[in-house]
Amino acid sequence: MLEFKEMQELKPNNELLELIKNYTYTTKNGKEKHLLYTNLQFIQPTEYIITYPISLKILEYKVNEISNKSYYIKEYNEKYNLKEIKQILIKLKN
């Protein structure tokens, strides 16, 4: 059986929490896990689940990408950065 060791718990981003404070939402902390007896690591994203007035699921990944887009909106199937998320939330609010 596969055994994992939790390396780090990933907390929600305060900037994004400030953006969604006017919405009804829940968050789930992400986790960074290490598969024992290997050199493989897995990252479980931090989830921001907005339920009202819109339904949206934003996933935040801890990544070091060149594109610098660490957010993923499940409903749109695309990656975004924090600035783009802010524009989307403003557009949806109106």
Q: Are 12 and 27 in contact (CB under 8 A)?
A: yes
Taking the C-alpha atoms of residue 26 and residue 19, their distance in angstroms, rounded to an integer, is 13
> How many distinct structural domains can be found in the chain?
1
State the pTM of this model. 0.85
Q: What is the mean pLDDT of each run of 10 residues along the chain (94 residues)?
A: 90 93 94 92 93 92 74 92 91 80
pLDDT recorded at residue 77: 93
| Domain limits for position 54 | 4-93
pLDDT recorded at residue 69: 86
Q: What is the CA radius of gyration of the chain?
A: 15
